[in-house]
Amino acid sequence: RLFLQVLDWTRDEEENWDSDQEKVITDCFHIGEGTLYEGWDQDAEQGLGRPISRWVDSRYVLWDPAATVGFQRDDAKYMIWLERMLVADAELLYPALEGAIEAETIETFMQPHLQGHYRHRTAAARLSGMMGAPNEEGDFVWLRRQWEKKKVYKKVYFHKADGTAALVIRGEDGEQEALTEELYCCLTSEEQDQLYVAQKMTEEMWETVVVNNRVAENHISAFCKTRRGHGHFPFCFFSNVHLSDESHARGEIGFLVGAQDITNETVSMFLDQLFTSNVGYWQVFKGSLEPQEREKLADIGRKPNTVIETTLGVAPPQHMGTDSSGMAAAASAIPIIKDLADRISGINDPARGERGNRAESGRAIRALQAQTSQLATKVRRHIESGLRRATKLRMHNIMQFMRGNRVLEVTDPNTNAVKPLYMGHSEAEIMAFYNLRPEADDEAKEIKIVNEDGQEVEILVLNDDVAHEMMVERIELTLDTGQEKNKLERMDQAEMVLSTVGPPAIPWVAEQLDWTNKDQLIADIEKNNQAQQAFGQLEQM
């Protein structure tokens, strides 16, 4: 319970969490793929660290094209994030590359054959003044961040006598850990003879950062399981339509491409016919017009009321246009194009306010709603997959990285009560560091923890032992849309109104709780009331 309250606190403290979630969902529907980065920012909270969630442009995230398992591509061998950063920030992040980073423009990846042309001079050359003006503040560079999973073999040791795993005692607490290769080399030959060695395949996640053509980082990632991490790529994918044969999923726009092409061709054909129908020439018999009258024909377009004097008995000028049959053919193609667009896009007549295929409007709309519900169910599953992965990664990061003493203001979702939450390595350390004390509660008959002001507080211990014991993957997550809570609130209101008003409030309660066949229920109640009134009048008579 307290751990989930800490999870909510991290999202409340992150100001851009809601906006980034909205961006990701928007990308899911508009471009078919929304990507969210879930990591850890050690500089936050004055160096104590805090989880970080960032919207990532899906166009700059690449992964193994062979990844086809699941919506989150867990079977991918690698993932690459092309992050655009200011040169000054990159030099602060990697001091060893200061003065050697070359600025790059956005065309670096769009036009690789012009990469040398778009890449600027080095910072050292700019500072020395050898190649013109100094570096501008707006110069950017691309950081290539790659997470790669590698299969490696590690040695494991077992006792020959009983086949149990060889363990060693480490630390003052007497904790047992598996025997490592380094410790095995420290054993005597007699002790080594009592063990046999086996090979075990494990997986390591390596993180590599490349700036220009220089490797800035290359090490085992902090998210690797060998470092007690979650072992997943730090990305959460929100796919609109998941296609196993494409490296990037695509959304509804992929299904509308064919209809859009047909529409574009049709519009182009109409425009061509429109311009062609207005193209023509003036037929003038030689000698039928005076020269000054003939020159007026060129100004007819600018002067619609042009007066031309013709000769009596001679045929006047006549405008000869092209054949208009092309325009008629284009107009006759409208029903065909409309039918093709409907069939390809799936947007049928009910959305246009018409009765298609002699179907009743209500039936057609219900059929369309059923298809839309099926599509929405699939998309909702994809979004739930991304939200579930983001939550699991954040929970893992909290268990792995959130250390040190800190005080949080958390809210209990059941009682909406705000309490201070004290976190630390151990309960004794937290009690001593913050001067907390236990206090007996006579009414509740329990012991509570209070601070110096006498306020009741909560204590949460986070250390490596707790992180090792808690199985985050076994925590069941459900998507909370707020509808269930709203339904419970409406049920409480309905119960209160029924107990106060009585049966006359049943129609209002039916509307609030959205009962099935509520119209029939209300009609039966009205008939019953009318019958009771009639019987009452008869009794009075």
Q: What's the mean pLDDT in 42-63?
A: 88
- Residue 127's DSSP bridge partners are none
**Torsions phi, psi for 81 (to 5 deg):** -120, 120
The closest alpha carbon to 310, from 289, 287, 279, 341, belongs to: 289
Greater model confidence, 276 or 376: 276
pLDDT at 27 over 50: yes
pLDDT at 484 over 90: no
C-alpha to C-alpha distance for 55 and 74, rounded to whole angstroms:
20
pLDDT at 351 over 90: no
C-alpha to C-alpha distance for 10 and 56, rounded to whole angstroms:
19
- Residue 211's DSSP bridge partners are 143, 214
Domain boundary among 461, 496, 530: 461
Domain boundary among 351, 373, 395: 373
C-alpha to C-alpha distance for 480 and 366, rounded to whole angstroms:
27
The closest alpha carbon to 216, from 390, 89, 357, 320, belongs to: 89
Structural domain including 510 reads: 483-540
- Assess whether 431 and 365 both reside in one domain: no
C-alpha to C-alpha distance for 117 and 439, rounded to whole angstroms:
73
Range with top average pLDDT, 66-75, 238-247, 318-327, 481-490: 66-75
Angle, helices 17-30 vs 361-401, to 10°: value is: 140
pLDDT at 466 over 60: yes
Assess if residue 93 is contained within a domain. Answer: no
CB crowding 469-499: b at 16 or more within 10 Å, else e:
eeebeeeeeeeeeeeeeeeeeeeeebeebee
pLDDT in tens, 321-333: 766 666 777 777 7
pLDDT at 260 over 90: no
- Assess whether 409 and 364 both reside in one domain: no
Assess if residue 290 is contained within a domain. Answer: yes
- Assess whether 429 and 520 both reside in one domain: no
Instruction: Locate 518 and state its tokens.
Output: 């509520």
Q: What's the mean pLDDT in 405-423?
A: 80
Name residue 317's amino acid.
Answer: P
Which class for 191: exposed (0-12), middle (13-18), buried (19 or more C-beta within 10 A)? exposed
Greater model confidence, 425 or 279: 425
Q: How far apart are the first and last CA of the chain?
A: 68
Name residue 46's amino acid.
Answer: Q
Four-residue CA torsion sign, 62, 63, 69, 73: negative
Q: What's the mean pLDDT in 434-439?
A: 83
Assess if residue 332 is contained within a domain. Answer: yes
Q: What is the pLDDT of residue 133?
A: 44
- Assess whether 351 and 293 both reside in one domain: yes
- Assess whether 430 and 527 both reside in one domain: no
Greater model confidence, 403 or 254: 403
pLDDT at 189 over 50: yes
- Assess whether 338 and 428 both reside in one domain: no
| Total-model pTM | 0.63
Q: What's the mean pLDDT in 485-510?
A: 70
Q: What is the pLDDT of residue 530?
A: 63
Greater model confidence, 478 or 378: 378
Tokens 């969210």 sit on residue: 36
Assess if residue 430 is contained within a domain. Answer: yes
- Assess whether 274 and 322 both reside in one domain: yes
Chain centroid to CA 274: 45
Query: SS3 string of 279-318?
Result: CEEEECCCCCCCHHHHHHHHHCCCCCCCCCCCCCCCCCCE
Cβ–Cβ under 8 Å, residues 440 and 200:
no
**Torsions phi, psi for 517 (to 5 deg):** 55, 40
Q: What's the mean pLDDT in 311-316?
A: 81
Assess if residue 308 is contained within a domain. Answer: yes
Q: What's the mean pLDDT in 270-285?
A: 75
Paired sense of beta strands 437-441 and 446-450, if any: antiparallel
C-alpha to C-alpha distance for 236 and 388, rounded to whole angstroms:
9
C-alpha to C-alpha distance for 230 and 149, rounded to whole angstroms:
13
Residues contacting residue 313 through CB under 8 Å, at least 6 positions apart:
none
pLDDT band at 528 (very low <50, low <70, confident <90, very high): low
pLDDT at 358 over 70: no
pLDDT band at 532 (very low <50, low <70, confident <90, very high): low
pLDDT band at 219 (very low <50, low <70, confident <90, very high): very high
Structural domains of the chain, count = 3
- Assess whether 438 and 511 both reside in one domain: no
Q: What is the pLDDT of residue 235?
A: 94
Whole-angstrom Cα Rg for the chain: 37
- Assess whether 264 and 352 both reside in one domain: yes
Tokens 């380094």 sit on residue: 182
Greater model confidence, 414 or 61: 61
Cβ–Cβ under 8 Å, residues 147 and 234:
yes
Q: What is the pLDDT of residue 124?
A: 43
Q: What is the pLDDT of residue 436?
A: 84
pLDDT at 383 over 50: yes
- Assess whether 258 and 343 both reside in one domain: yes
Q: What is the pLDDT of residue 118?
A: 44
DSSP labels for 139-174? -EEEEEEEEEEEEEEEEEEEETTT-PBPEEEETTTT
Q: What is the pLDDT of residue 143?
A: 92
Q: What's the mean pLDDT in 406-426?
A: 81
Tell me how many degrees the CA angle 259-261-263 measures, rounded to the nearest 5.
Answer: 70
**Torsions phi, psi for 231 (to 5 deg):** 80, 5
Tokens 């182009």 sit on residue: 268
Q: What's the mean pLDDT in 417-421?
A: 82
Instruction: Locate 177 and state its tokens.
Output: 């850990």
Assess if residue 432 is contained within a domain. Answer: yes
Q: What percent of the chain lies above the pLDDT cut of 90?
A: 11
- Range in 123-137, 203-217, 247-261, 316-330 the model is least confident about: 123-137
Domain boundary among 352, 373, 394: 373
Assess if residue 287 is contained within a domain. Answer: yes
Query: SS3 string of 225-260?
Result: HHHCCCCCCCEEEEECCCCCCCCCCCCHHHHHHHHH
523 three-class SS: helix
- Assess whether 275 and 366 both reside in one domain: yes
Cβ–Cβ under 8 Å, residues 444 and 435:
no
Q: What's the mean pLDDT in 45-67?
A: 87
Q: What is the pLDDT of residue 464?
A: 77
Q: What's the mean pLDDT in 437-455?
A: 78
Tokens 């208009």 sit on residue: 324
Q: What's the mean pLDDT in 36-60?
A: 89
Residue 464: in which H helix or E strand, if any? helix 464-469
- Assess whether 487 and 457 both reside in one domain: no
Q: What percent of the chain lies above the pLDDT cut of 70?
A: 70
